[in-house]
Amino acid sequence: MNNPLMEVDKLRLDAGSQTILEVDRLALSEGQVMGVMGPNGAGKTSLLLVLASLIPPTSGTVRYRGEDLARMDLVRWRRRTAMVFQEPLLLDTTVRENVATGLKIRRVPPAEQKTRVSEWMDRLKIEHLARRSVRNLSGGEAQRVSLARALVLEPEILFLDEPFSALDRDTREKMLEELSAILRATRTTTVFVTHRQSEASFLADTIIHIEQGRIVGSQPNGSSGC
């Protein structure tokens, strides 16, 4: 892979005396959607959090466009990424306010905020919920808000930690189809953690398998919806 967007070299993450991640090398190219699979406790989410610089590795290097993240200004890095967790983690306010949160923090001009928020609420089919309190949302609606809040930032890298795991099958499949179309249209580089083979096969173009903190398999996915 020439000039990867992100790459990992000799990464290790310890928790006390236990090594929970040991990844010799991993590379992510621009526009790639990488699925990360493995059993519970395999280290999938830990890898995601290290890549997102939410936890530091014990040793090894994570680089973005060739630059060591450990030496990169954290604010500059954060402005290039967005993350969606299993739980939506929404603020106790309206849908519109939640979607606009990151843009306000980044001091995007109000007119641009309005345009981008409306665009992404429409793309995630939540425009009709704009004034509704997040307390009155279904699980699927809340996760749509969370996705809109991330995608409105137009991140270079999107980190997804099992965002559909709590949803019923019909809702999950519909959202996977919509997200696949969005990632294909925007070419947003994505790391997608899931324990469902069907989700990884549909969304990702490359799937890596982790067991006991180590990558035990990696292959291109020819059936990806992307």
Angle formed at CA 66 by CA 64 and CA 72, multiple of 5 degrees = 55
DSSP at 22: E
Residue-wise pLDDT for 138-173, tens only, equals 999 999 999 999 999 999 999 999 999 889 999 999
Write the burial class of residue 213 (CB in 10 Å: 0-12 exposed, 13-18 middle, 19+ buried): buried
The confidence score (pLDDT) of residue 35 equals 97
The confidence score (pLDDT) of residue 42 equals 94
Query: What stretches in the chain show pLDDT beneath 70?
Result: 1-2, 222-226
Residue 188 and residue 120: Cα distance in Å, rounded?
A: 14
The confidence score (pLDDT) of residue 166 equals 86
E-strand spans in the chain?
6-15, 18-28, 33-37, 59-64, 67-68, 81-84, 157-161, 189-193, 206-211, 214-220
Domain assignments of the chain as residue spans, ordered by start: 91-154
The confidence score (pLDDT) of residue 224 equals 61
Query: Across the chain, which distance is largest between two alpha carbons, in Å?
Result: 52
Q: Which residues pair with 192 in a beta bridge?
A: 35, 160
Residue 177 and residue 132: Cα distance in Å, rounded?
A: 25
The confidence score (pLDDT) of residue 226 equals 56
